[in-house]
Amino acid sequence: MTLEASVLGDDAVRATPQGYEIDLHLAWYRSLPLSCVEDISVSIAGATAARDAIRVMKDGKSMSLDELAGCVDDEWFVQDPLTIVFPAPSPLARGAEADVQVTMATRIPYVIIGPDTALVKPTRVSRKVVIQ
């Protein structure tokens, strides 16, 4: 539904010599600390990358998905994209069309649904984009 509509823009995927960079938006109505991003996976034209090969760029820093858990004071502002670096041996050229699928698991740190359990919101977005 609508929160998902903003996750992946038309020009969100860029080809690089090493693979792709993808700009993602949060599928929530407010900003969250990066520590609440529990998982991100991406598939571009059928190519996927292992969890530990994906890097997250924030304020000039490059982090692994595992490192995000400690980023309690790093804000993912709700209007800002978060750039994901996705390695691929032979990325598609600029201008090519590709089916992209993004899944995210985002912990909502104030929606407590049981003893010691916060809501983890699953997000799945599939769309066709033109590689930039």
Partner 1 sequence: MSVTLGVTLYSMTNEWLAGRFTLPQLVDEVGKCKLGPGVELIGFQSLRGFPNRVSAKDLKELRDAIDRNELVPTSLASNADVARNANAWMTTDESVEYMRPQIELAGKLGFPVVRTQIGLTPDVLEKLEPIAAKAKVHLGMEVHAPEGPNTAKVQATREVYERIDSEWLGFIPDFSSCMRAIPPGMLDTLRRDGLSEAGIEALVRAWESPGPPFARYGAFADEAKAMGEPALPIGAATLVFTMFGRENPEDWRELLPQVRHIHGKFYDVDDDLVSPSIDYETLMHVFGESDTTFTMSTEWEGHAYLDMDEQDAFDIVARHHAMCRKFLG
Q: Which of 14, 21, 33, 123 binds partner 1 (CB under 8 A)?
A: 33
CA distances (Å), origin 123, targets 25, 29, 61, 79, 131:
11, 13, 25, 17, 22
Cα–Cα distance, 18 to 87 (Å, whole number): 6
Cα–Cα distance, 129 to 132 (Å, whole number): 9
Alpha-helical (H) ranges within 2-93 are 2-5
Q: Per-residue x/- marks for partner 1, 40-79, CB under 8 A?
A: -----------------------------x--x--x-xxx
Q: Which of 14, 35, 101, 132 binds partner 1 (CB under 8 A)?
A: 35
Site for partner 1, rule CB under 8 A: 1-3, 5-6, 25, 29-33, 35-36, 38, 69, 72, 75, 77-80, 107, 109-110, 112, 116, 118
